[in-house]
C-alpha cells in the first residue's frame, strides 16, 4: 500500500513543530505521538 502524504499549508506544520519544540517542560510519549498522528513522518521529511 503506497499512501501519499502532504500538507495543504506548510505553515501549519511549521507552527505545530515550533509549538512542540518550544513547549515549556519536557515532552512525553503522548505529546510526540499526537504530533506524529497529526503530521506523519513522510509529511515532515518530504
Measured distance CA(6)–CA(45) in Å, rounded:
10
Measured distance CA(16)–CA(28) in Å, rounded:
16
| pLDDT of 2 above 60 | no
- Sequence-separated (6 or more) residues with CB below 8 Å from residue 23: 31
Model confidence band, residue 3 (pLDDT cutoffs 50, 70, 90): low
Would you list the domain boundaries of the chain? 10-20+28-45
Measured distance CA(22)–CA(30) in Å, rounded:
16
Report which of residues 22 and 4 the model is more confident about. 22
Mean pLDDT for 14-31 is 91
The model carries a pTM of: 0.72
Amino acid at each position: 500500500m503506497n499512501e501519499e502524504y502532504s500538507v495543504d499549508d506548510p505553515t501549519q506544520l511549521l507552527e505545530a513543530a515550533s509549538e512542540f519544540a518550544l513547549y515549556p517542560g519536557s515532552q512525553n510519549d503522548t505529546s510526540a505521538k499526537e504530533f506524529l498522528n497529526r503530521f506523519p513522518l513522510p509529511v515532515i521529511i518530504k
